[in-house]
Chains A and B, each alone.
Chain A
C-alpha cells in the first residue's frame, strides 16, 4: 500500500509569516498528487492536482511544487493569515489505484 507522509504534523505561525509543508511519497509508478485544505467542521476542498515532475501551481498566496523523481511535494503559504488555519492534506496514487491520503499538516495562524 502506498505510504504518503506529511511533515510537520502541526505548526503554529504568526500572521504575516510564510511557511511550507512537505509531502513525501514513493517515486515509483507515480501518477498524480493532490493537495486539499480542510477547515474544522467542514469538508476537504481541493487546492491543486499535479502530475508532472517540476510542476508548480499557484492559487493566491498558496503555491505547490512537485518532484516526482525524488518523491516529494512542497506546499507554500506566503504571508499567512488567520483564515489560512486548517489542516492541509496531501494525497497521491499510482496508475490504476485509489488516492491515498496523508495524515495532514495542521496549521494554526495567530493574529
Chain B
C-alpha cells in the first residue's frame, strides 16, 4: 500500500487554466504538507495543515488554495495558472506539525504550464 499518494503524476496545461492536485495518506498522520520543488531542485514549503486546519502558509500567491476535507487528504487547487507555476509539487505527511517526527513524501506531481 502506498503511504502517501498524489494524482495526477503529470499535468500539462495552458496558462490561465485552473487545475487541482490531490493527495492522500493512509498513515493516520495528523499533519500534511505541500512543497514546491523549483527549477534548482530546491524544496520549499507552501502549506501545512494539522487536523484539517491551516497552520502554515508561506507567502504563497492567493491563486493557490489548499483544501483538507479530512485528515487523510490535502488537495491543492491552482487558479489562473502561470508559466512560473511549472514545477514538481510534493505532498507529505507526518505525525506532528512541530518537526519532531519524520515526513513521508508522495511521489510528486510534475506540472508543466505552456
Asked whether, in the complex, the Cβ of B98 is within 8 Å of the Cβ of A89, the reply is: no
> Judging by beta carbons under 8 Å apart, are A44 and B43 in contact?
yes
Q: Return the CB mask of A12-32 against B: 1 if under 8 Å, else 0.
A: 000000000000000000011
Contact B105 A49 (CB under 8 A): no
Across the interface, A99 reaches (CB within 8 A) one of B45, B90, B104, B107, namely: B45
| Nearest Cβ on chain A to B95's Cβ, whole angstroms | 10
Q: Which of B48, B90, B100, B101 contacts A43 (CB 8 A)?
A: B90
Q: How far is the CA of A74 from the CA of B72 in the complex (A)?
A: 34
Q: Does A101 contact B (CB under 8 A)?
A: yes
CB distance from B85 to the nearest CB of A (A): 20
Q: Is A85 an interface residue (CB 8 A)?
A: no
Complex partner residue of B45 from A42, A92, A98, A103, CB under 8 angstroms: A98
Supposing A32-B99, A49-B100, A51-B100 touch, asked if A44 and B45 sit within 8 A by C-beta, the answer is no
B: contact size bracket: 20 to 34
Q: Which of the residues B33, B56, B98, B107 comes within 8 Å of A32, measured between beta carbons?
A: B98
| Chief secondary structure at chain A's binding surface | strand
B63 contacts the other chain (CB 8 A): no
Q: Which of B58, B105, B108 contacts A98 (CB 8 A)?
A: B58
| B23-44 interface bits toward A, Cβ cutoff 8 Å, 1 = contact, 0 = none | 0000000000100000011111
- List A contacts of B33 (CB < 8 A): 98
Q: Per-position contact with A for B49-61: 1 when CB-CB < 8 Å, else 0? A: 0000000101000
Residue in B closest to A106 when the chains form the complex, CB atoms? B41
Nearest Cβ in chain B — how far from A29, in angstroms? 12
- The reply to whether the CB of A46 lies closer than 8 angstroms to some CB of chain B is yes
A78 to chain B, nearest CB (A): 22
Instruction: Report B's interface with A, CB cutoff 8 A.
Output: 33, 40-45, 48, 56, 58, 90, 98-108
User: With A95-B98, A99-B99, A101-B43 given, can you name 7 additional A-B contacts, CB distance below 8 Å?
Assistant: A36-B103, A43-B105, A46-B103, A89-B43, A98-B58, A99-B103, A101-B45
**Mind listing 21 A-B residue pairs with CB under 8 Å?**
A31-B98, A31-B99, A32-B98, A34-B99, A36-B103, A43-B106, A44-B43, A44-B90, A46-B104, A49-B102, A51-B100, A91-B43, A98-B33, A98-B45, A98-B48, A99-B45, A99-B103, A100-B45, A101-B43, A101-B45, A103-B42
